[in-house]
């Protein structure tokens, strides 16, 4: 989510543009490695250490495991435990697998907490992923199961240099091409540092013999001209684009474009929006499953389809010395039923699990209660034509804005096709997500169209229909993902992941990759590995 004006980054653009403030702003923009280190300490790092699924030895004869939840974590656990010979049963609240790995298509009906029901009106072939929508190349666990199970993938574009960055308070509220802001910010910074180097301003910071190397690097990085200046010309226009592009014949001579002034770039705040693609979790290459993210869940579910009981709403979890009993119903008023197994792996989100009777020790109970869930909202909008491609030459990627919708995500498939198409019209977090969800779904969609029209005026004429999903109003999750802090992770994480008697937990909330499917995969594999070790280490029951 973008910083607010009260955020330290936002505060840096207010007041006189001192040298100290300027260098601080440059550090903020360039410091993605430091951001990643901080994210790691909070459990937000995004690279996976997956080296392959565990090679579980054969399960003891008759050993059984009850898995609660057929999301990605539960499905991966069921698949691997079944291969090892365990008797596995999966109880799933919904009538489909995947949990937050979810795709909405035309004809789907969704009812949220509070009773609002939406029927998706998308044309055949169009869809939106309310939950995960991209797979980083270094999420090796998810990639492994996609490759193993034959889930076809296609590129997901995070950064499109021809998309827009936008602020309602900058440049008259008009959007600016991503490449222009990035080129101008880098160019002006390089120009400034080159001037400082020439004047001795970097003495003591850069070895004297390295100064020429630095200047050469700045010229290349910032597209500076021969005089080491960033200004209108061939070098800068090859980064930011030409006022008139090169062409053929007598009219083909290019006209350089005029860079945005340094002060204007800084005061616009648009430099905040150009760093996302540098962060590890969004670096190329990213992927998406062809046809929707739920293809991953369905491929996993197909491997254990005879072991999944859908429409099973868990009402209570009770363990004793010999096993675990789970009471559940069909969620439609049917009588209570019971399922029992030697062991239980629970992947139910903590936001829901904390409301289910569960006899575990105080350490795990406190851990379950300690993790709140983030609020998030996505809105999918179908339009009559691909105006972003046809009018603006934007093929995939995202435009970023400081409006409550946060960004616009363009479809990364079907380029150039005719007919209707769906884009992600909002991806809101925190207060903005709560603000949107306080409205009826049709009003959320209307507001997303209203905001989006400030970037693409075509919205008003081309809008067809939409659907809005607020994750904190989703009955089976009640939040987007488990939000750890450094303090709560230190106090409760190990207690959450321990084996408590015959129960253990898994899911993105039990990982250092929260909010990602990779966290669910690696958490599940870690949990079943420890569970298997515990089971095979137990003495065989007496045959007396």
370 contact partners, CB below 8 Å, separation of at least 6: 488, 491, 492
d(CA 312, CA 331): 7
Q: How many residues does the chain have?
A: 544
281 contact partners, CB below 8 Å, separation of at least 6: 46, 47, 136, 516
**pLDDT at residue 335 in the model:** 79
Q: Going from the N-terminus, what domains does the chain have, and what CATH number goes with each?
A: 64-99+298-371+484-537 (3.50.50.60), 104-161+285-292+374-473 (3.90.660.10), 179-268 (1.20.1440.240)
**Which residue carries 């937000």 as its tokens?**
44
37 contact partners, CB below 8 Å, separation of at least 6: none
Q: E strands within 19-134? A: 64-68, 87-91, 104-105, 109-111, 117-119, 127-128
**How far is residue 439 from each of residues 209, 374, 448, 468, measured CA to CA in Å?**
62, 18, 12, 10
**pLDDT at residue 233 in the model:** 97
49 three-state secondary structure:
coil
Which of 455, 459, 458 lies closest to 177, judged by CA? 455
Q: Residues 305, 307, 313, 315: what is their CA dihedral angle, to the nearest 10 degrees?
A: -160
**Which residue carries 């997956």 as its tokens?**
50
**pLDDT at residue 14 in the model:** 39
Asked, as a colleague might, if the bond just before 228 is cis with ω within 30 of 0, I would say no
Summarised one tens digit per residue, pLDDT across range 497-514 is 999 999 999 999 999 999
d(CA 500, CA 291): 40
Which of 435, 428, 430, 317 lies closest to 372, judged by CA? 430
DSSP codes joined into one string, 114-176:
TS-EEE--PPTT-EE-SS---EETT-HHHHHHHHHHT--EEEE-S--TTSEEE-TTSGGG--E
**pLDDT at residue 332 in the model:** 73
Note the pTM of the prediction, 2 decimals: 0.89
**Which residue carries 């069921």 as its tokens?**
78
**pLDDT at residue 48 in the model:** 78
**pLDDT at residue 540 in the model:** 67
**pLDDT at residue 419 in the model:** 96
**pLDDT at residue 543 in the model:** 54
Stretches where the chain sits below pLDDT 70 are 1-46, 540-544
Question: How many CB atoms lie under 10 A from the CB of residue 33?
Answer: 11
**How far is residue 204 from each of residues 201, 210, 345, measured CA to CA in Å?**
9, 11, 58
Which two structure tokens, joined as six digits, stand for 15?
């007041």
d(CA 271, CA 18): 18
**pLDDT at residue 297 in the model:** 98
**pLDDT at residue 17 in the model:** 46
Cα-Cα end-to-end distance for the chain = 63
24 contact partners, CB below 8 Å, separation of at least 6: 12
Which of 392, 380, 379 lies closest to 457, judged by CA? 392
């Amino acid at each position: 989510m973008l910083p607010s004006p009260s955020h330290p980054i936002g505060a840096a653009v207010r007041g006189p543009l001192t040298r100290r403030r300027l260098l601080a702003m440059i550090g903020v923009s360039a410091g993605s490695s430091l951001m990643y280190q901080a994210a790691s300490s909070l459990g937000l790092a995004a690279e996976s250490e997956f080296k392959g699924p565990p090679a579980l030895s054969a399960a003891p004869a008759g050993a059984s495991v009850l898995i609660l939840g057929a999301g990605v974590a539960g499905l991966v656990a069921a698949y691997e435990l079944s291969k090892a010979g365990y008797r596995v049963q999966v109880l799933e609240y919904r009538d489909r697998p995947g949990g937050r790995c979810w795709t909405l298509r035309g004809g789907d009906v969704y009812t949220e907490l509070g009773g609002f029901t939406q029927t998706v009106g998308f044309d055949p072939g169009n869809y939106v992923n309310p939950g995960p929508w991209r797979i980083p190349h270094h999420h090796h666990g998810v990639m492994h199961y996609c490759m193993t199970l034959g889930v076809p993938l296609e590129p997901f574009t995070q950064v499109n240099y021809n998309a827009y960055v936008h602020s309602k308070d900058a440049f008259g509220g008009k959007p600016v091409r991503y490449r222009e802001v990035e080129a101008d910010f880098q160019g002006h910074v390089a120009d400034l540092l080159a001037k400082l180097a020439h004047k001795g301003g970097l003495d003591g910071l850069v070895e004297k013999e390295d100064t020429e190397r630095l200047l050469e690097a700045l010229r290349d990085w910032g597209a500076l001209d021969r005089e080491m200046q960033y200004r209108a010309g061939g070098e800068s226009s090859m980064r930011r684009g030409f006022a008139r592009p090169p062409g053929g014949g007598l009219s083909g001579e290019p006209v350089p474009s005029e860079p945005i002034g340094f002060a204007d770039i800084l005061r616009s705040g648009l430099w905040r929006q150009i760093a996302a693609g540098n962060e590890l979790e969004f670096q190329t290459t990213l992927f998406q499953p062809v046809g929707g993210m739920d293809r991953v869940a369905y491929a996993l579910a197909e491997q254990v389809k005879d072991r999944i009981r859908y429409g099973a709403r868990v009402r209570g979890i009770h363990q004793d010395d010999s096993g675990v009993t789970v009471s559940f119903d069909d969620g439609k008023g049917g009588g209570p039923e019971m399922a029992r197994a030697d062991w239980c792996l629970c992947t139910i989100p903590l936001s829901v699990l904390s409301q289910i009777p569960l006899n575990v020790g105080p350490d795990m109970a406190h851990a379950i209660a300690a993790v709140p869930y983030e609020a998030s909202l996505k809105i999918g909008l179908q339009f009559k034509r691909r105006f972003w491609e046809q009018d603006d030459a934007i093929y995939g990627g995202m435009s970023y804005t400081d409006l409550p919708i946060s960004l616009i995500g363009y479809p990364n498939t079907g380029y150039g096709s005719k007919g209707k198409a769906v884009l992600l019209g909002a991806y809101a977090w925190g207060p903005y997500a709560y603000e949107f969800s306080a409205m009826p779904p049709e009003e959320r969609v209307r507001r997303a169209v209203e905001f989006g029209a400030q970037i693409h005026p075509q919205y008003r004429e081309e809008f067809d229909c939409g659907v809005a999903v607020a994750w904190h109003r989703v009955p089976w999750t009640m939040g987007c993902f488990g939000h750890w802090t450094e303090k709560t992770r230190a106090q409760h994480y190990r207690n959450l992941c321990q084996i408590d008697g015959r129960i253990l937990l898994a899911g993105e909330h039990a990982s250092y990759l929260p909010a990602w499917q990779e966290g669910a995969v690696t958490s599940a594999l870690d949990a079943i590995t420890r569970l298997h070790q515990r089971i095979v280490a137990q003495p065989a029951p007496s045959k007396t």
